[in-house]
Structures are given as C-alpha cells and as structure tokens.
Chains A and B, each alone.
Chain A
Amino acid sequence: MDIRLEAIGHDYGRTEVLRDITLDIPSGRIVCLVGPSGCGKSTLLRLIGGLERPARGRVLMLGEPPADCLNPLTFVFQDFALLPWRTVRGNVALVLEDHRLPPGRMEAVISDVLARTRLSDFAGALPRQLSGGMKQRVAIARALAVNPAVMLMDEPLSALDAQTRELLMDDLVALWTRTPFTAVYVTHNLAEAVRLGHRVAVLSRRPGRIREVVEIDRPLGERGYADADLERIQKHLWGLMRDEARAADEELVDG
C-alpha cells in the first residue's frame, strides 16, 4: 500500500504550519522527513496517521493493506508511550486484544514480535525495569504486532543516548532487511536520515514546505558507519537545512 500526500496545508489557529506538501510514500520504502525544529514535521506525521485532520489537501491510501494487517497506519512515538502498569507482553497484547483473534493466534504473534526485537527474555518485565533502548524496542514490537502497512515513526530515537541510538538503528536495519516495511520516519538527526532513509524530504522552516527530496539508492544493509557517499549526502542535507535552522532558532516562540 502506498501513501500519497496531495497539497497538504495546515494551520494552528492563525499560524500556518504546513503549506502545499505533496509527497509519495511508496510501499516497502522508508521516507525520512527532516527539517528544523518547529517546521511541522511531527504535525505532518499526525495528519498522515489520521490523528489530526488537514486544513487543506488530502492524504490518500493507494491500494489495499496486507490481508492480515490489523492497523494499517501505526505509530512509533518518541516517548515510547508504553503503559507503565503492563508488562512487555501486556503492552504488545494491548493492541491485539480488541481484534478477537482466533485462539492461540495472539500468543503466537506476541512471541514472534518479541523474538524479532530480541525481547523474549523480558516478556514479564515492567517498563520501569527496562532501559530506554529496550522500551523503544517494545514499542517497535508493539507496532510490528499489528502488521502495519505503514509505520509512522516520530523521532523514535531522540530520547535515547548516542550509543543506544546506534544499536537501535542496526536493529531497525536488520528488521527491514528481513521483512521490508513501509515507514515515514521523522527526525531532526541527519545521520539517522541518511542511514535509514530511501528517500529524504527536507522541510523548510514554518510554514513547512518541501525544499528538496533526496533519493538514496544504496541498500540499507550496505550503509556503514563512515561511508563517504553518505557523508556527502548528509553535508548536502545540512547545507539545505542550516540557514532554515538558524532562522527558525531566532524566531520568538509565539512570533
């Protein structure tokens, strides 16, 4: 299933936050949205996921989601959004319980996604017992459990330290390589964007418009830590963003 954004515009009160965004998110690809803070990239993600209604334009789903997909558009949040009173298993079970799965199916799905995110040994642990990286892996396992058509990832690594971030990026790459998934990945971190994105859309400062869409052809599995080509792309992206970021930084919050 593909996603198409058609001339999306959005306002908060009298402030225009997004203007004329048109973008394709092809199936099986990771599309990164980067831009200076306050450019409306998280807002755009919520519009795609149906948590907010766009003021102008529309978000289209093209084609059918996979047959066993329980929740076509599935979020992974920056703050993990785990229920602190449920165990790892319970947090994954939460999103399956409403779907009246055949007997045994739920347990099988949970075991599968916990295995894929290397959490099988922690199924009975509570969120407060987990490190930040493990919490985000639980959130990813929960997202995988509903077999989404598109994953909407809102700065999923921003709350983590640098080392954990590296490890989790490896995990995401491994997951995608085994079973390619479609994702919109919002980040302000360009290193993440060039590491995980098949396509990187750079947004301008508010009101957010698409400055440029950069395609990265190199397969995810082959992108190393200090790859010269990727460095070059990252520099190019930074060149696009720098002035916008500086200008955005100097705006008054309410201005």
Chain B
Amino acid sequence: MSSLTRRGTLGLIGAAAAGLAAPALAARRRVVVGAMNLTSHAGSFIALERGYFADAGLDAELKFFQAAQPMAVAIASRDADFGVTAISGGLLSLAQKGAVKVIGGALSEEKGIDGQKILASDAAFKAGLTSPAGLDGKRFGITTAGSSFHYMGARIAAAHGGRPEFVPLQKVGAVIGALKSGQIDAWSIVPHIAKPLAASGAVHIIGNVADYLPGYQVTTVFTSAANAGGDRGLVEAFLQAFSRGVADYNAAMVDRSAGEAAMQAVVDIIHKYVYADQPREKAAVSIINGSMRLNEGAAINLASVRDQLEWFQSEGLVDAGITLETFLDTSYVKVIGA
C-alpha cells in the first residue's frame, strides 16, 4: 500500500520534473528536423521514435533530404529548423551570409572505432593503389567541390605529400557507380556503404580515415542563425532530446554496453529510415557495420572544425574572412579538442 503510494508519488515528482525541464509542456513547439536516410542521423530518429522530442516539449517532424546541400538551404530559408550535415563550403558560405549557425557536433571519427574507409577501385588497386600513399595524381571521387569528400581526399593525400585529381560527380550514387566501373580511382565513405562495396569485390578498402584525421568532426548539428541567437529555449530543448537519442545510440551500437536487446531495438528504429527497402536481416548487418561514434552531448571538436575551415579557405573555396565565430555558436555544448 505504502509502496504503491510511494511509487505514485515518485511518478508524480518525475512527471513534474519532466514538466519543469521541458518548457511549455502544454503547447508543444513545432519543429522540423532535417534528416537524411543515413545512420549518422540516428540521433534524430531515436529521439523522435522514443518520444525524447515530445519530452522536451517539441512536436518534431522529420523532413528528408537527398543531399546535405538542400538541407542547409532549407534551414536558411526557414523551411526546416534543425539539421545534421557535414561541414562543407556551402554550409560555411550560408553561415557567412548570416543564415545558419553550427551549434553542436554529431558524427566523429575516433581511433579504435570503425570509421570512414578509404576505397580504391579494383582497377586502380590492381595497378598498385593499395594504400593512401599512392593517391598522388589519382582520380578521387567527390560529390562537389568543397564537400567533406574533397576535404578528406585532400588531407589524406597530403599526409603523403600527394595531390589527387578531384572528380565532381554530384551524387553519392554516381560516385559509387564511377568507382565500381573504374572511372575514378579512389573515394572515402562511411563504413556502412564502404563495407558492402568492398565485400562485392568491385572495390578495395585501402585505409581508415581515422588514421589520418583523428577526431575528425564529420557532421555537425546546425540551425538557423535566428534560432541560435534568439531562441535559446528551443535550441536547448532540441539539443537535449537529440543528445538522449545519441546517448542511446552510442550505448547500443558503438560501446555495446546496453546489451543485445537494446542493440536490436535501436536497429529496428534505424531500419525504419535507413535501408527501409531491404529486409530487416540484411539491413541490420549494414546498420551494425556502419556504427560510428556520435558526439556525446552533441559536443563539438573545435580543433577539427578549425582545420576544416582553414583547408576550405586555403583552397579558395570559401571567403578568407570567415572566422570560427562566424559559423559556430559554442555556447550550447561542450567543446572538445580545443
């Protein structure tokens, strides 16, 4: 009897606490979260499916994009509120125009955890491209100039004093096709795409991105400059919910500390959005293969972000006048690697 009462009381207190943590529980704020069908967006998927957004007082809706570029533009045009995307020349340029602001980190490379892979086409591999040391003068696939692929390829090759020829192909699908048919020699991509490709024998994994760019901040969380500057409550609520999704993901998929059942539960959630056209068993392999660290608490690696900015500027891809402060608002999350 008393135990029942106590539990009821605890429940009441818990609900009250949640209510306090989430501003304006009565009228939940509508937010549109930009997403892509990639495991790196798992933080958003889990936060939505497990009601973390609702807990934070947000009525969240996922809006899907085929590429990072239109997502950034949608946030600039206020058609979406939050997004997760790689740092690219386009994102920096939009930030410079006062449209978007990076507020946290998402996907990052971590030594010891399977991360992005460096790939070589079968033809190039047979001709001797068996390690990133041979990238000089090779045809390296990128989506567009100023994309994260461009940055990775240049930095990895430069580590060996090389300079590849970059071939813009606009879409990831086109890069995959070009790599399989040997039209390009090399590429780098997240493991859940890299591993099945390598398994088919059409391409070969010749290195890990993490070995060249440890702590590489691959994707970041961003929002419109207006939200970042003028609506702290909204941004904090989003980051809180997003971070809970990230924590679940890391525990289940990266650290595997939550047990097999938790992992399968997270796979189920992700499978709704990633490889949804494939059967569960097949998709699960890719999803598990592709697990990469998401920054705990949406922390952001400042050293990596600075390196990326400097590289984009040195290549003349973005204005030399852009500073970290132009596009980064570090007041929301923990900064690492500074």
**Do any beta carbons of A and B sit within 8 angstroms of each other in the complex?**
no
Q: Residues of B at under 8 Å CB distance from A? A: none
